[in-house]
Chains A and B, each alone.
Chain A
Amino acid sequence: MSDTVHLQAPLPTGSVGKLANGWFGMIALVATEGALFAYLLFSYFYFDVQYGRSWLPDPLPAFRLSGPNTAILVVSSLTMVWAERAARRGANGRAALGIALSFVLGLVFVGIQLMEWKDKTFNYASSSYGSLYFLITGFHMAHVVAGLLVLAALLAWTLLGYFDARRHAPVSIGALYWHFVDVVWLCVFFSLYVTPHLR
């Protein structure tokens, strides 16, 4: 008998929180998606250092819509933290409420972002700045939409009573993805909206 193995304790069975393989899989997915955004932002700054101020649009991207929108996305992440805590305690009602709140806030983010796009004086084909602006924010938007689909599924499953205090791995995994979408937006926002003022 191998002396180094401990077998006496009962082991959790099935998909349990952060012991689920899916949790590790999501971390790996977040890593590779994070790399995707790193390459996008590398491209952005690559253009920036090649051309300087003249490459950026006039006027610079404004905070009027993007600022409040950033706050909305951050709040949606906080509601998701709350929802995940509730799910861990088996409080399905509160979990569903939290997921629903995050979902609604995410929808609002998408709406405001569409208004922001409509207000732009350039489009994706007018210059390399326009191409990159729409590619980066478009990629992020695609991730938000994917996140909304995930949240919708989680909401349905929670309301169907699929989860309890021991079985809620999908909520934790989905929450991780949603936080990732939020953090990536902060990086995108800082790069596209804030750094032009810091030159």
Chain B
Amino acid sequence: MRRLTTLWLLATASLLPAAPALAHDSGATPETIGAFPALVGLSFMIAGLYATGWARRRRAAGTAPGHRTQAAAFASGLAVLLAALAPAADEMADTLFSAHMAQHLALVLIAAPLLAFGRAGLLAGMGLGRAPRRIAGRLGFERVRRTCHGMPGALLAWFAFCGVFAFWHLPGPYGWSLRSFPLHVLEHASLLASAYAFWAVALARPSAALGHGARLAYVGTAAVVSSFPGALMILAPRPFYAAHAQGGWGLTGAEDQQLAGLVMWIPGGLVYLGAMCWILLAWFAEAERRARLARASLPAISLLLLLAAQGQARAAGDNSMPGDARQGARLIVETGCGACHVIPGITGATGLVGPPLKQIGRRVFLAGLLRNSPENMVTWLRDPQAIVPGNAMPRLGLSEAQARDIAAYLATLR
């Protein structure tokens, strides 16, 4: 697999010198001539990293049903990105404002959600290997990530997405981006990045911090707020973007602008609606799955219920069959949990693939859905794929006793 990746990167790199030829007829300035080929090259490199990361995950955790869909989404997202920024599309976007708007929408409403659904960030990151991620960790990147996790991060992504999109469609900043090539690149990059952050929250896995209902509101409100400039364009009687005031393709400037607003409001709105339907269905599927899961882990839970029913419930954390925490610590080192997790008290446990296990003894839920009881921790450690199919944590082949020891150690992290 590694050989394949290397080959891929080499092939990509060899394409780069040939690239300017692809852009010879775009009528671009010397500054922009290499832009698209460079973008193509960059995309291929990211695709290579993604493929490597994808393969690494498969080696570690096996293939889950969703993995192929993720890869397909990533590939289509990249394809849409390239098509939207291709010289021909760019040329049309220079004349028609509505075409330019369609280009931006393709980036933020098609490419970005597909890339986010494909988990491009996580898998390309895994493709980089451990060293760069460790460096990122040293630079405090991990702390930023953790701070942004959950509600604050979601709010930040929401405001970034709506704000960046609105900002670049104010007449002033829009004009600057047309006049300066670096600003134009910045415009597209910031549109894509903020949209990626937004959709990463909206389409996240069920264990993420924002619940399904909250995510419906998150997407629904963004649908209206981010389309706000569109509504204004529909209702504007005169063009306010100087570069497109003349119109083209048989449309007057005002009509072109109204069309842009309509493309944003209606087809754009349908994308948001589709995303909301998807989240709603995921919500139901998740509820189904949990009901099945509860049934599957029935023996343990009914015992507890029985105890509760007889009024003999014990304080949480009390455990009738405790493992040996010291033995657990040794097993954690042997099993190599530290490759993926930050685990206090375990030397070298600095992995950034999975969540850090600091204070895991205090958490309410495991994997976002199991109550954090010692029994459930053992169940989870023994077969994580049975509980959340397709998650990144592999089956470790632990025995019941071993899992109980590890759970005992983890329970001490409070």
Contact = CB atoms under 8 A, between A and B. Distances in A.
A14 interface: no
Interface residues on A, range: 20 to 34
Contacts of A10: 313, 315-316
B172 A7 contact: no
B309 interface: yes
Interface residues of B, number: 35
Interface of B: 170-173, 217, 221, 224-225, 228, 231-233, 235-238, 240, 290-291, 294-295, 298, 301-302, 304-305, 307-309, 313-316, 371, 373
A198 B316 contact: no
Contacts of B236: 49-50
B235 A5 contact: no
Interface string A1-30: 101111111100000000000000000000
Given A8-B313, A9-B371, A45 B170 contact: no
Contact of B301 (A3, A52, A197): A3
Interface string A125-166: 000000000000000000000000000000000000000000
A62 interface: no
A4 B291 contact: yes
Contact of A52 (B228, B238, B290, B316): B238
A195 interface: yes
A189 B301 CA distance: 54
A8 B224 contact: no
A114 interface: no
Contacts of A42: 228, 231-232
Contacts of B371: 6, 9
A36 to B, nearest CB: 13
Contacts, number: 72
B240 A49 contact: yes
A108 interface: no
Contacts of B291: 4
B173 A49 contact: no
Contacts of B301: 3, 6
A197 B173 CA distance: 10
B309 to A, nearest CB: 7
Contacts of B238: 49, 52
Interface in A39-87: 42, 45-46, 49-50, 52
A198 B173 contact: yes
Contacts of B232: 42, 45-46, 49
Interface of A: 1, 3-10, 31, 34, 38, 42, 45-46, 49-50, 52, 195, 197-199
Nearest to B214: A27
B294 A3 contact: yes
B363 to A, nearest CB: 13
A198 B238 CA distance: 18
User: Which 3 A-B residue pairings sit nearest by Cβ, starting from the closest?
Assistant: A198-B172, A49-B236, A4-B294
Contacts of B309: 1, 7
B313 A7 contact: yes
Nearest to B171: A199
Contacts of A52: 238, 240
Given A8-B313, A38-B225, A195-B170, A50 B237 contact: yes
Contacts of A1: 302, 305, 309
Given A6-B301, A10-B316, A45-B232, 10 more contacts: A6-B371, A7-B305, A8-B304, A8-B313, A31-B221, A38-B224, A49-B233, A49-B238, A195-B170, A197-B172
A191 B56 CA distance: 48
Contacts of B172: 197-199
B221 to A, nearest CB: 8
A69 B225 CA distance: 26
Contacts of B235: 46, 49-50
Nearest to A2: B305
B133 to A, nearest CB: 31
A182 to B, nearest CB: 13
Nearest to B302: A3
A185 to B, nearest CB: 14
B240 A7 contact: no
B345 to A, nearest CB: 25
Given A1-B302, A49-B232, A8 B170 contact: no
7 contacts: A1-B302, A1-B309, A42-B232, A45-B232, A49-B232, A49-B240, A52-B240
A8 B311 CA distance: 9
A72 B307 CA distance: 56
B279 to A, nearest CB: 17
B295 A3 contact: yes
Contacts of A197: 172
Contacts of B314: 8
A7 B307 CA distance: 9
B308 A7 contact: yes
B187 to A, nearest CB: 14
A46 B228 CA distance: 10
B171 A8 contact: no
A14 B187 CA distance: 50
B307 A31 contact: no
A8 B309 CA distance: 9
